[in-house]
Structure 1
Amino acid sequence: MIKIVDKVECCGCGSCANACPSRCVKMKEDEEGFLYPIVDDFDKCIRCNICSKVCPVKNLKKEEPFVQKGYLVQHCDEQIRKESTAGGAFTAIAQYVIECGGIVFGAAYDDQLQVVHMAAEDIESLKKFRNSKYVQSNTKYTYREAEQYLKEGRLVCYSGTPCQIEGLKAYLRREYDNLITVDVVCHAVPSPLIWNKYLEMQKEKLGKKIANIRFRDKYYGYKYSAMVITGENNQELYARGVDSDQMLRAFFSNICDRPSCYNCSFKKRYRVSDFTIWDCFTVYNFSKELDDDKGTTRVLIHSSKGQEVFEKIKSRLRYLEVSPEKLTDGVKEMFQSVDMNPKRQQFFSDAKTKSGKELFEEYFPCSMKVVAERFIRVFCAKTGIYSAMKRVYKAIVKK
């Protein structure tokens, strides 16, 4: 049976819980808010060891080079692109699947603003998958659901982090022609516990019911991401950039990530998915025509199936073919695990006793430096010089 001795060796994908024939493996939260498998009924366990056999970390696939295709992509529907984190590539893939009578799985908010995997069977429902959620999603039993649809012959698209896609593939233990997988290049996954602390703080500060939160809203443009909170009737309650929003600052400080993220087994170029998608903030290095600050997606295609799908959806897109080597050059999130913040242990210890407001204001206070940086960034965004200033800054840093 599966037993997690070192938490670095569990990515929390849930493959083991989905695969257990006796249903005795459950995903339970630890003190940091991350899910780990627990055998909660030893009498039910039949010692088949399937839970260990489907673990993507314990049975890591060796990376082997193969032919890939690379593209820069922008959805032609400007509203879809506006609502998307980058260029709307995933929506184009998902639209195709829905139109073929298929079903799409992805990360979305439930009624309590918890990030979970769920299904969509119509075009309108795809909206819930747009925009990043910088929290580890709970896949629940969606691997089982996806498998049932696959066996029924329906086209299935499953999207998630690289570990979740490898977890799905390990769980299935066979290839399906009617399965399309999409992984997102992942920085790391923060704790749902810390996310709930943030929600607690914002509810207290705003004093109103929160209807939706967008981590990567294009409030100031694509290249200056913002956290935007809305209430009833889409009323805007809060908007802060990556420099001053406390959850975004926590995310990029690597203080609240899952232990396995600091030694990720799935940081690589050659992946088991059909598509890998991620941002292209430096689109100007590839094409001046596509550099409009409204969002562009890098798409790396790993399979002939993925290329066939791309050929069918490209009429919805503006796209530019780019060599995979150039597309992935310098993308450290694809190849390198994040470094653990030295304050991580104390941060989680304090999270047990402090309120959300106390926690975030102690570790990520709104200092004069933060206020000044926000003022400068907002000024540059509103005057239209943000992109140019960012390029100058990057050039200086490189020197």
Structure 2
Amino acid sequence: MITITDKSKCCGCNACANICPKNCIKMKRDEEGFLYPDICQDECISCNLCESVCPEINVRAEVPFKQDGYIVQIKDENIRRESTAGGAFSAIARYIIQSGGVVFGVVMDDKFLAHHTYVESELELQKYRNSKYVQSFVGESTFKQVREFLNKGRTVCFSGTPCQIEGLKLFLKEDYKKLITVDVVCRAVPSPLAFEKYIELQNKCLGTDIINVRFRDKYFGYKYSTMNICTAKNNWSYHRGIESDPWLRAFFSGICNRPSCYECNFRKRYRVSDFTIWDCFSVCNFSKKMDDDKGTTRMLVHTSKGRELFDKIKEEIKYVELNPDEIVNGVKEIFEPSKRNPKRDEFMADLNILDAEKLFKKYFPNTIKVKIKRFIRIALYKLRIYKFVKNLYSIILKK
């Protein structure tokens, strides 16, 4: 039976809740806003299936194998504009849908909670585009839905963080030929409760309720992506970057991440997924032709299934094949866990005490330094040299 005594040993993948034959495991939110398994011991039959599918208990040894490396851009410019990077996932997902398959991904609902759903039409794929910088709730039946579709002979594409993919694979127990998995290189998963506080803050600051958010908008270009907020009054006019938006500052500071993220067991190059995808801000180091500041995806292909599918989507994408060693070089998010902010425990304690305005003002005040950083970035963008400066930075640091 799963017993959580150390929260750094639970990634919240929901595999245990999905496998329980008595449905006596429910995911319960803690005081930090993260979900952990809560077991009704009166109904538990001690089958230990929950332990057998836990990726934190069953950590897989990393074994090197042949990989293919690419940088990718989808040819459909509308899709690329809506995507976080180059639209590689949309190219994969669109092929799956066109082949009669099902795609699982993450959506943000009207309460600004991220959770996994599935879609069966190309039009619905739009809601999966753009990163969600908050932990998604997989659901206590989502993995079972994946298995049901596979057992019916349907092709399934499942995207998620590396720990979620590991949990799914352990749950399924067999390598289904028609399952395609795509993991996104993950910096960390921040607290949904902290994000609710951010929404509360912005509702007050903007003077009206938020309708929608985009965590990685390309209004100022791909290399200066911003948090973008839509209200009934502003027509998507809020654009703030990592230097000035309170949520992006919190996320990238490591102050509100899940405890397991600081000791992540899934930071590795050789993964159980078919594809690993992530940003390519340094596209200038790999291809001058593709350096248009509209978004590019780096991709590792791990399996023969992945290679077969990549061959089938080649007509839909622009790509350059690269040595995998070259494209992972310097990418800390693949190999190293996120660093724990020294003020993390204090922030989390204040999360339940302070109102939103006081919380973010205490930890992320809008200081003169912050204002200067934003001014410089906007000035560089208006002078049309921001891309040049970012490229120079990438070339010097080779990342």
Same fold (TM over 0.5): yes
Whether 2:360 is the aligned partner of 1:360: answer yes
Provide, for residues 129-185 of structure 1, a one-character-per-residue CA deviation record: whole Å limited to 9, x for no partner. 100111000001211111111111101000000000001001111110010000000
Q: Residue 233 of structure 1: CA displacement?
A: 9.4
In the alignment, is the contact (CA less than 8 A) between 1:157 and 1:180 conserved in 2?
A: yes
What SS is found at the alignment partner of 1:273? coil
Residue of structure 2 in register with 1:132 after alignment: 131
Letter in 1 for 2:380: C
Residue of structure 1 in register with 2:101 after alignment: 102
Letter in 2 for 1:368: I
In the alignment, is the contact (CA less than 8 A) between 1:206 and 1:237 conserved in 2?
A: no
Residues 1:179 and 1:233: Cα distance change in structure 2 (over 3 Å): farther
Provide, for residues 265-293 of structure 1, a one-character-per-residue CA deviation record: whole Å limited to 9, x for no partner. 00000000000000000000001000000
Residue of structure 2 in register with 1:66 after alignment: 65
Distance across 2 between alignment mates of 1:75 and 1:393: 26
Residue of structure 2 in register with 1:317 after alignment: 317
Q: Residue 207 of structure 1: CA displacement?
A: 2.4
Provide, for residues 363-390 of structure 1, a one-character-per-residue CA deviation record: whole Å limited to 9, x for no partner. 1011000000001001111222112222
Distance across 2 between alignment mates of 1:397 and 1:354: 40
Residue of structure 2 in register with 1:219 after alignment: 219
Q: Please give the TM-score of this superposition, normalised by the length of structure 1.
A: 0.97
Whether 2:131 is the aligned partner of 1:111: answer no
Provide, for residues 42-64 of structure 1, a one-character-per-residue CA deviation record: whole Å limited to 9, x for no partner. 22111100001100110011110
Whether 2:266 is the aligned partner of 1:266: answer yes
Whether 2:23 is the aligned partner of 1:23: answer yes
Residue of structure 2 in register with 1:147 after alignment: 147
Distance across 2 between alignment mates of 1:11 and 1:234: 37
Q: What is the aligned length? A: 397
Provide, for residues 230-259 of structure 1, a one-character-per-residue CA deviation record: whole Å limited to 9, x for no partner. 134992242111110000000110000000
Whether 2:161 is the aligned partner of 1:169: answer no
Whether 2:74 is the aligned partner of 1:75: answer yes
Distance across 2 between alignment mates of 1:316 and 1:234: 35
Q: Residue 394 of structure 1: CA displacement?
A: 5.5
Whether 2:327 is the aligned partner of 1:327: answer yes
RMSD of equivalent CA atoms:
1.3
Residue of structure 2 in register with 1:297 after alignment: 297
Q: Please give the TM-score of this superposition, normalised by the length of structure 2.
A: 0.97
Q: Which runs of 4+ in 1 moved over 2 A?
A: 231-234, 390-398
Distance across 1 between alignment mates of 2:214 and 2:366: 21
Residue of structure 2 in register with 1:158 after alignment: 158
In the alignment, is the contact (CA less than 8 A) between 1:220 and 1:382 conserved in 2?
A: no
Letter in 2 for 1:52: E
Distance across 1 between alignment mates of 2:42 and 2:369: 58
What SS is found at the alignment partner of 1:236? coil
Provide, for residues 18-56 of structure 1, a one-character-per-residue CA deviation record: whole Å limited to 9, x for no partner. 1000000111111101111110x2221111000011001
Letter in 1 for 2:163: C
In the alignment, is the contact (CA less than 8 A) between 1:211 and 1:234 conserved in 2?
A: no
What SS is found at the alignment partner of 1:353? coil
Percent sequence identity over aligned pairs: 56
What SS is found at the alignment partner of 1:271? coil
Residue of structure 2 in register with 1:287 after alignment: 287
What SS is found at the alignment partner of 1:220? coil
Distance across 2 between alignment mates of 1:369 and 1:7: 36
What SS is found at the alignment partner of 1:211? strand
Q: Residue 187 of structure 1: CA displacement?
A: 0.5
Q: Residue 327 of structure 1: CA displacement?
A: 1.1
Residues 1:335 and 1:397: Cα distance change in structure 2 (over 3 Å): closer
Distance across 1 between alignment mates of 2:209 and 2:233: 11
Residues 1:307 and 1:396: Cα distance change in structure 2 (over 3 Å): closer
In the alignment, is the contact (CA less than 8 A) between 1:214 and 1:227 conserved in 2?
A: yes
In the alignment, is the contact (CA less than 8 A) between 2:185 and 2:278 conserved in 1?
A: yes
